[in-house]
Structure formats: structure tokens, C-alpha cells
Amino acid sequence: MRKLFIICALLFCLGTASAQQKFSVASPDGKLKLVLDIAPEKVAYSVKYGKQQLLEDSRLGFEFDSGEFGAGLKAGKVQRRKIDEAYELVVGKVRRARNYCNEMTVPLVERNGKERTVNLVVRAFDDGIAFRYEFPEQKAWDSYVMYDERTQFNLQGNPMALLMYLPGYVNTHEGVYSHVRYDKVARKRLIEMPATFEFDNGVAVAITEAAIRDYAGMYLVKEKGGLVGKLSPKLGQEKIKVETDSFPHRTPWRVISVADRVGGLL
């Protein structure tokens, strides 16, 4: 009987391990690293800067009219590439800037049902992490009505936060900034981006977004599991945030800028 119990326990552990997948991508200088953890019940990421854990167990996913997307997923074929290119700035101190990073694209595929697929594209720079979701052309899914995006930013520790609360989605994007410890950030209140956080050792993090096109703007709200992205609803619609009638489609970049000091974020 004891042998049977041990065998069953081993089979359970092996099954759990095989269902869980981990992938990572690091910045060119190796200091900044994102780890993606795909488990049966969730998809989450963590970010580490040197030996310091900045974000941990931050969940990813969506809520569509056809149901939630974030659990019961597996990874498809992962693609990687190094990007090193120059581009011209419209405004700034210099005319040309360098886009230098390591990129990882992970297809998130439903294990059951229609096997809907969303590609998670992650880029690791020396000064930050950026990721976005891409909806490729696929036979079983060619449009969506999105009720919300479930992107989390679960900061570790208790950094000083510099942020601005907003009265609602319709606003002037102006107001007074609050400078408080992270554990004192008000819950359930809308927060403007970028939001900046400074750790006791001087390391600074700014959370924002970039390249918004055919998509809703994102704000932050503090909940039990950390900061959660909240999309602005469509005009006259309280529930619907984004809808599209064709693929391919993609979200804006979710950006986590990192520096040794606050001034380094500029």
C-alpha cells in the first residue's frame, strides 16, 4: 500500500511539472530579466534587476464576451531574436535613437475548446521591460469584444510611490501627485500612468504604456494582488473596453522602466 502511495505521488508530481512551463529573457547587459511562468491555473511573470526582485507573480490575461483567457493555457513554439536598429525621434535631445534589446515571443494557446491563441511579445532592454499581446490570424477566432485586460504589476517590498489619482476615466489628466509608501496607496482608485516607484536602495521603476492604436488607454488600480491595469471603456459603454472585427490585432506595449536612480528614468 505504501509503495502504491509513493508511485501515485510521483506520478502526480511529474504531471504537475510537465504542465508547468517557464521561459525567460534577459537584457543585453544581463542585469534585467523577465521570467514567464505558464501553469494550468494561470500565466504570470516576474522581473528581476540584478539580485533584486522587482515584480513577482504578476498575472496576465483577458476577459472577453466569449469567456476569460488566462487559465488552461500552454506555450506554442517560442521564437527569439536580438534587435539592434536605429530610428529617428520626432522630438528629443538627439535626432536618432538606438532600439537595442532581446525579444521573446511566446504563443499562449488554449489547451481545450477552440484553442484560441494570443502571442505574448516580450522585449528586454538595458533600461526596462516591454511586452504586448498580439492576436494572430487563426481559423477558430477572428474577432473579439473585450471586457477588460487582466495585466498585473505586483511590486515587491514597500517602495515610495509618486502617482496621481484620477476621479474617473473622463478627466483632464491633471492633478496633484501623491508621494506615499506603496502600502499606503489607496485601493480601488484610478491611477494615472506613468506611476513611479523608488526603492530604499535607490532603484526606481516607472510603469506606463506606449504605441496606443485601435485600443483603449490603460490606468492602474491597486487591488489585493498588487496593481492591475484597467482599460478605459468605450464612450457610452460601461462594460465594453475594446472590440475588433478582424485579426491580426495587437495591444499597446506595457512598459516597466528601470534605473539605479529616479533621474535615470529620464
Rounded to an integer, the average pLDDT of 123-135 is 99
Displacement of CA 188 from its chain's centroid (Å): 19
Domain limits at 83? 21-265
Q: Is residue 13 part of a domain?
A: no
Q: Is residue 99 part of a domain?
A: yes
The pLDDT score that the predictor gives to residue 7 is 44
Q: Is residue 157 part of a domain?
A: yes
Q: Is residue 11 part of a domain?
A: no
What's the CATH code of the domain at 170?
Answer: 2.70.98.10
Q: How many CB atoms are closer than 10 A to CB 258?
A: 23
C-alpha radius of gyration, the chain, whole number: 20
Q: Is residue 126 part of a domain?
A: yes
* pLDDT tens string 179-215: 999 999 999 999 999 999 999 999 999 999 999 999 9
Look at the chain and report how many structural domains it folds into: 1
Q: Is residue 8 part of a domain?
A: no
SS3 12: helix
Torsion sign across C-alpha atoms 174, 178, 183, 186: negative
Rounded to an integer, the average pLDDT of 147-172 is 96
The pLDDT score that the predictor gives to residue 13 is 46
Residue 10 has pLDDT above 60, yes or no: no
Q: Is residue 86 part of a domain?
A: yes
pTM over 0.85: yes
